[in-house]
Amino acid sequence: MTTGWTVESVRQAVLTKKASAREIAGEYYKRIAAQNPKLNAYLTLCEARAYEQADRVDAMAAQGKTLPPLAGVPVAIKDTISTRGVRTTCSSKILENYVPPYDATAVVKLEAAGAVILGKTNCDEFAMGSSNENSAFGCVQNPVAAGRVPGGSSGGSAAAVAADLAVAALGTDTGGSIRQPGSFCGISAMMGSYGRVSRYGLIAFASSLDRIGPLARNVSDTARILQAIAGRDPNDSTSTTAPVEDYSLTLTKPVKGMKIGIPKEYFGVGMDEGVREKITAGIEVLRNLGCELVDISMSHTDYAIATYYIIATAEASSNLARYDGVRYGPRAEADSLIGMYRKTRGAGFGPEVKRRIVLGTYVLSAGYYDAYYLKGQKVRALIADDFRRAFGRVDAIVTPTSPVPAFKMGERTNDPLQMYLADIYTVTGSLAGIPGISIPCGKIGGELPVGMQIFGPAFGEARVLQLAQAFASAGGATV
């Protein structure tokens, strides 16, 4: 059984008829059957749909037609992204049997590019979490660090890619939920600028923050998946009209002379010393590539976690109000409408989702809106301004992805604040709306992956990918 497929190797195998798309999909389903009972990365498989798509790709190859860029590539989809006819649960009991009647735009674009959708991956319930321990259907195991979390909320997507149960995957990132799992599982994971990828069909957590993005085992595959799903969508008024660059053309350009900002606020108290050591070594790789390192200050960074958890929970409180037992989903019968709401949501939502709904409802309530939500929006603007000013001086900003490596299962479940602090370096880019990628940057003790984060200016995905590729090609993953 072949392992280590990439986007290009799959396409070439199908093109040259060394392997069919159906055979490659079958290989992945065999691996999933063998490993998923332990990893719990997939919640739902869609074999009939996958084989139908694989057969379409094989028919194109047999007829000598030009193959699309992702021809035959097996891809996994996070279970917060709608898939027509395929169960989409958000890892929540309240959507346990929900089957969407339509596909998310990102899924439509993937299949139009020839990708084969294998199934839906586990995640923190409604994408609320940093460890994938909040799923109603059990925790995901980290395939490269036994007994440790895979990160969250896109932990199932990260684990599936890291375990070679998919060539690539889609995740969603609200405050770090693509990048942090990528860091913990030792793979490449990217969040594009807000508006770069359509959110149509994404089941909302926090609408001004949510983004769909790719996870893959290398930067090139990450770029190819992002290329396929990016662009304007009339179904999403927040998607941008800014043109999508050809990321492959800029991927291998030299980075000599590029100015890299190193913000002091991301290297303070609380960072694991092993993480500090690896990121410091990674920065030296960039210096050796001819990059100019520039010390910068992002003065509002310390307020990012508080700001994020005000804005995100407020939006979650609004978005999740639709789950009331009336229009769809399970219903708990009661003697009154309010009683039915209470019993339905009490049984359907898990403790972390309930915590965030309560927090969000509180910060939006009369007498507290100005003190919390309005102030949070003002600080968000200041954080975004920090980045705008920084990008007036530098081409990119490099930080750790997480202050710690993957932590042990159960280590932080009883301490929500410590769990939230795992996102301290990722929420800033989310609030600012800019693109960011996490790429492997060595392993602590040869075992625990460390991720290095690269931020670029708004719609500067090509620059971020260019720097990430240069770092990876220079051996940055093994510093």
Q: Is the peptide bond before 153 cis (omega within 30 degrees of 0)?
A: yes
Q: Where are the beta strands (DSSP E) in 64-222?
A: 74-78, 116-121, 168-173, 188-191, 211-216
Tokens of 239: 């998607």
77: which strand partners? 120, 170
From CA 110, how far away is CA 73, in angstroms rounded?
A: 10
State the distance between the two ends of the chain, measured CA to CA, in whole angstroms.
31
Tokens of 207: 């609408």
From CA 175, how far away is CA 444, in angstroms rounded?
A: 24
74: which strand partners? 116
Beta-sheet strand order (sheet of 74-78): 42-45, 116-121, 74-78, 168-173, 211-216, 188-191, 436-444, 448-455, 396-400, 259-263, 292-296
From CA 35, how far away is CA 29, in angstroms rounded?
A: 10
φ/ψ of residue 113, rounded to 5: -85, 5
Tokens of 450: 């460390």
Q: Which residues are catalytic?
A: 78, 153, 177
Helix-strand-coil percent breakdown of the chain, rounded to 5?
45, 15, 40
